[in-house]
Amino acid sequence: MTKHTLFICTSCSASIAHDDVTDDTVTEGVLLFNQLQVSQQNEFENNQLTIQKVGCLWTCDRPCSVTFACPGKYTYHFVDLSHSQSVSELQQFSELYINSADGYVKPPKMPGELRSHLLVRVPPLPES
């Protein structure tokens, strides 16, 4: 089974300077991570998606940011997400992403406002 991962930046914040963020700081990314964890437990128990915190995704000026990645599939990086309003759209996108053979999700199929928050889509690495 292919493992899909949703990386969530926990260090970027619209209201806290990056240098002031510690492991205990509750940023927008931490709030989003917590909400997705609860939602996944309640609705997606057998989901093929791992939700993982990362310290920084290097889009500090565009918080809150997340990246969908999976071997052999396109990688998607979304920025400027609302930690309180993006959970449902990210869940919907994850289903489309998981069910796509190569990870490509056509822009018109992206739920809600996610299309306008897509910063980059990276093609899969060629198999060697």
pLDDT of residue 85 exceeding 70: yes
pLDDT of residue 91 exceeding 70: yes
For residue 116, what pLDDT band results from cuts at 50, 70 and 90?
very high
φ, ψ of residue 81 to 5 degrees: the values are -85, 150
**In the CATH hierarchy, which top-level class contains the domain 4-122?**
alpha beta
Residue 45 has a pLDDT of 47
Contacts of 124 (CB under 8 A, 6+ apart): 71, 72, 73, 74, 75, 102, 103
Q: If you average pLDDT over every residue of the chain, what do you get?
A: 87
Residue 11 has a pLDDT of 87
| Beta-bridge mates of residue 69 | 5
* Single-letter residue type at 13: S
Buried-state track 86-125, b at ≥16 Cβ within 10 A, e below 16: bbebbbebbebbbeeeebebeeeebbeebbebeeeeeeee
Q: Give the CA radius of gyration of the chain.
A: 14
pTM > 0.75: yes
pLDDT tens, position by position, 21-80: 666 778 888 899 999 988 877 665 456 899 999 988 988 888 899 999 999 999 999 999
